[in-house]
Amino acid sequence: MTKQVLEGIKVADFSWFGAGPICAENLGRYGATVVRVESEAHLDGLRSVAPFAMQPCPACEGKCCKECLNAGRVTKTGYNVSGYFNNYNANKYGVTINLSTEMGKEIARKLIAWCDVFITNQTNRMVDRWAFGFDELKKINPNIIAAYQPMQGFDGPHKDFFGFGAVLNAITGYNHLSGFPNRPPMGIGTNYPDYVINPGHTLIAILAALRHRKKTGEGQCVELAQIESVVSTLGPVVMDYNANGNNQIRKGNRLSYASPHGAFRCADIEWEKQPMDRWVAFGIFNDDQWRALVEAMDSPAWASDAKFATFDARKQNEDDLEANITDWTRDKAPHDAMALLQSKGIPAGVVQNARDVHEDEHIKARDYLEYLDHPETGVMAYDGSPFKMSKTPGKLTTPAPTIGQHNEYVCKDLLNMTDDEIAEALIEQALY
């Protein structure tokens, strides 16, 4: 078996929800030993968030019909069946520690002494309450790399504000830029900072700190202020205001340097007796592509109008332009429209839904999705590797832990606690 690039690195994951656990999962994906710390008193909220695994419905002789699904008769219950949670916590050992007890804190200190990397996205107040600040951790483990993800940093007037990706979408400007002109901000439909930006930036910082420690023997503190991490991805917008005084507003799907540019309605379909709208997205960035689009549309009379003859003219008449294009795409299957446009050298793609992505022939051919057999949900698809390396490709090997699944293993095999110590911790409810 190929040795993974992070094999031998030990991680204590004291985070929850998205930004921290996703970062820690990727450390585990590439070989690190990751212990996910939870508390039954304050469960990770993702454990209670849908989608939940389904089970065969006896009324339908083992098959799941839509009526049963809507009635909730085929949904499994409990805190181990959330696809949301499980997808972000594979390749981890799970331990439940009661940090409100002194013995629980002692077990946590043992885990901190054991690990190379500590990670948390808990608030500054929780870090202080647990005495998990960097100065405290260094006393336990002088060479530790401690990564913190406070929403707005360690200091400043908003250091004690807390929130999730939805809040970050708002305060960093993403919501202001998402939607259509003259309409309220609509957001981006998902907590994008939690899933991509902040775990990715934290991962890079931890890897840099590991390299520094390998060269110098020194650990260090990593502060990932989530607000700053997210604002950094809006560089052009921030710089446009800084350089030009231009405060950009929502543009829908339009771009200042392309026309047309957007998602255009195609022929609707019906799936499981429900109507489903379908779309194709494409953009025209130069006159050659415009001529190719006109040819693809069989040179309709409206396309020869002077108000569409140049880029500036098309931008000034973009509403009419998009309406005419929609008349052309409206009766076409999105995949047919995409194939035709691509054959003319126009960048185009179907606006895919979750089912499309899951069944996408390209995704399948590249074996992106990984399948793991969870003890309560059965075999389920997990997100694949965000990047592939030829010598150390990384992979998921174990599903997300059930609550407290590895308490004994972590305490006995990783922390070298005796049977008597483990029994005492259970009696004192330091372990759940």
116 contacts 146 by C-beta, under 8 angstroms: no
160 contacts 151 by C-beta, under 8 angstroms: no
Kind of pairing between the strands at 117-120 and 10-13: parallel
17, 189, 253 from 278: Cα distances, Å? 32, 18, 16
Alpha carbons within 13 A on the beta-carbon side of 149: 35
> CA–CA separation, 284 vs 201, rounded Å?
33
Q: Output the six-digit token pair for 250.
A: 């929502």
> CA–CA separation, 344 vs 366, rounded Å?
26
Q: ω into residue 51 within 30 of 0, thus cis?
A: yes
> CA–CA separation, 146 vs 119, rounded Å?
6
Q: Which residue has the tokens 């990932």?
A: 224
Q: Which residues of 220-255 are buried (b: 16+ CB within 10 A; e: fewer)?
A: bbbebbbbebbbebbeebeeeeeeeeeebebebebe
Question: Which residues are bridge partners to 264 per DSSP?
Answer: 280
Q: Output the six-digit token pair for 424.
A: 């005492």
Q: Output the six-digit token pair for 344.
A: 């003319």
> 281 Cβ partners below 8 Å, 6+ apart?
253, 262, 263, 264, 348, 349, 350, 351
Nearest CA to 148 out of 113, 116, 112, 124 is that of 124
Q: Which of 13, 44, 116, 194 is catalytic?
A: 194
Phi, psi for residue 70 in degrees, rounded to 5: -65, -30
> Greatest CA separation found in the chain?
86
**Residue 194: active-site member:** yes
Alpha helices, H only, 251-333:
287-296, 311-316, 318-329
Q: Which residue has the tokens 């209670």?
A: 48
Nearest CA to 413 out of 110, 4, 13 is that of 110
> CA–CA separation, 82 vs 400, rounded Å?
10
Q: Output the six-digit token pair for 87.
A: 């997808």
> CA–CA separation, 314 vs 256, rounded Å?
11
Which residues are the active-site residues? 194
